[in-house]
Structure 1
Amino acid sequence: MRVLVTEDDDDLRIAVDASLRGAGFAVDTASDLPEVDLALSVNEYDCAVFDRMLPGGDALDYVAGRRRGGWAVPVLFLTGRGDTTDRVEGLAVGDDYLSKPFATAELVVRVRSLCRRSGRVTAAATASHAGIEVDPERYEARRDGRPLTLTGKEFAVLERLVRAAGRPVARAELIAAAWDELLPPASNVLDVLVAQLRRKLGRPAALHTVRGVGYLIRAD
Structure 2
Amino acid sequence: MSNKKNDRRTQILQALAQMLESSPGARITTAALAKQVGVSEAALYRHFPSKAKMFEGLIEFIEESLFTRINRIVQEESNVIARIEMIVTLVLGFAEQNPGMCRLLTADALAGETERLRVRITQVFDRIETQLKQVIREADLKQGLRPAMGVAPCANFLIAIIEGKIRHYVRSEFKVKPMEIWPEQWTVLAQNLMLNR
Going by fraction, where is helix more abundant, 1 or 2?
2
Q: Same fold (TM over 0.5)?
A: no
Scaled by the length of structure 1, the TM-score of the pair is 0.30
Going by fraction, where is strand more abundant, 1 or 2?
1
Q: Which has the higher contact order (CA 8 A, sep 6+)?
A: 2
